[in-house]
Amino acid sequence: MQLYLENLPLRVSEQDIYYLLSEFGSIISIKITRDSHGRSLCSAHVDIKEDVDGRRIITALHNSNFKEHYLIVYEIK
């Protein structure tokens, strides 16, 4: 399942996202969206191994507070 995370803190790393999501299941990849200068656009694409784990992430983390930012989490279809 592919997820999209928005409203991430500006200085968040792939490792920070991994630690946040890994308790829900196997993470295949994480890629922070960046502009042409390499600056974070405060969003990320995440590939989750199992759909059920992706749904658990959406349920648990959508509108949740992460480092003083309320996350927007949804499935990419």
* Spacing of C-alpha 66 from chain mean position: 11
pLDDT in tens, the chain (77 residues): 999 999 999 999 999 999 999 999 999 999 999 999 999 999 999 999 999 999 999 999 999 999 999 999 999 98
**Which pTM was predicted?**
0.92
Residues in contact with 22: Cβ distance below 8 Å, sequence separation at least 6, in sequence order? none
Extract the runs of DSSP E, i.e. beta strands, from 1-77.
2-6, 27-34, 40-48, 65-66, 69-70, 72-76
For the record, the structure tokens of 29 come out as 């990849």
Domains and CATH numbers, the chain: 2-38+47-76 (3.30.70.330)
d(CA 63, CA 20): 14
